[in-house]
Structure 1
Amino acid sequence: MRCAAAAFYLGDHTLEEALAAWRQDYNAPTFRQRRMLLARLGTVIRRLAAEAETLRRRHGQPLA
């Protein structure tokens, strides 16, 4: 479920854009009731970003 939700935020966006969209939703008044789900989703997005950074470093690619 969380990975599917993270995929929704990622779509065709970079991880940084997805995290910015997540932050905007997390702070929106209409999402306050779903804050626990969004908090977990933010963790998934941050983990994906960390994995992507690790892979780029391993393969010698410059960080964006």
Structure 2
Amino acid sequence: MSRIEFDSYYSVFGEIHFKDNLKFYVKLLSKELAILQQKNLKYEKVKEADDKVNKGLLRQV
């Protein structure tokens, strides 16, 4: 991957990306990732409860 760094932007394959935009995208991605991790945590808890029900440890109401 050819990457040329400049003061305020860099070029990848001839495309110009401004570093501030990049920081914004990174923030956006980390926020998305945090949301996904929360969803995954909720999923894990639900799955854990399901497993207990399946094993007969919890009684389904």
TM-score by length of 1: 0.44
| Higher strand proportion | 2
Structure (1 or 2) with the larger CA radius of gyration: 2
Higher helix share: 1
TM-score, normalization by structure 2 = 0.46
